[in-house]
Amino acid sequence: MKTEEHIKKFDKQVDVYVRMRDNDKFSKYRRKLFHKADGDVLEVGVGTGLNFPHYKEIKKLTAVDFSEPMIAEAEKEAGKYRFSAEFIRGDAESVEFEENSFDTIVSSLSFCSYNNPVELLNKFNLWCKEGGQILLLEHGLVKFKVLQVLQRAIDPLTMRMIGCHQNRDIEKLAASSNLEIIKVERHVIGALYLIQAKPVK
């Protein structure tokens, strides 16, 4: 479970995420990955709904976030789109869903804040239907060792200030989970990871 102190760090950032709707530097990467989402979709760490414009074939969205202001903004944003949506205020690491509930599971820029990211990926493996897909757009360690040293050095500061780890190798975390990795792309000097995976049943 996230502490109230941790949650408040994200509550305070809601206006930043709202402004990103008009100037989202990751929009082209969201579009590239998340247009693949279909069927019943679970999005963890939904934030203010920045992925919504890129959903083309989804029937229903179940959206989870531990920040109440973020969820409120996402719920308002969802009214602009044709898919039905259910919003759950909760920590993705502690919410429960039945196995084989979703056709697609989506996460974007949220794995920096989880306590046990591999455990959460293993939950995705259970929650996703056979033949379904897991789509991750996450930030983490860059490709260059010199810059990795800097990322690791500032990690305690960014975690304390905004609740965000800088030192995670997202590809390695995904490979350590029960998921089968289908495709990995790295962008922005390797700091941005686009990962397509599927559950192993």
pLDDT in single tens digits along all 201 residues of the chain: 578 888 899 999 999 999 999 899 999 999 999 999 999 999 999 999 999 999 998 999 999 999 999 999 999 999 999 999 999 999 999 999 999 999 999 999 999 999 999 999 999 999 999 999 999 999 999 999 999 999 999 999 999 999 999 999 999 999 999 999 999 999 999 999 999 999 999
Single out the residue of 54, 44, 137 nearest to residue 97, CA to CA: 44
Q: 50-60 burial, b for 16+ CB within 10 Å, e for fewer?
A: bbbbbbeebee
For the chain, how big is the Rg over CA atoms in Å?
16
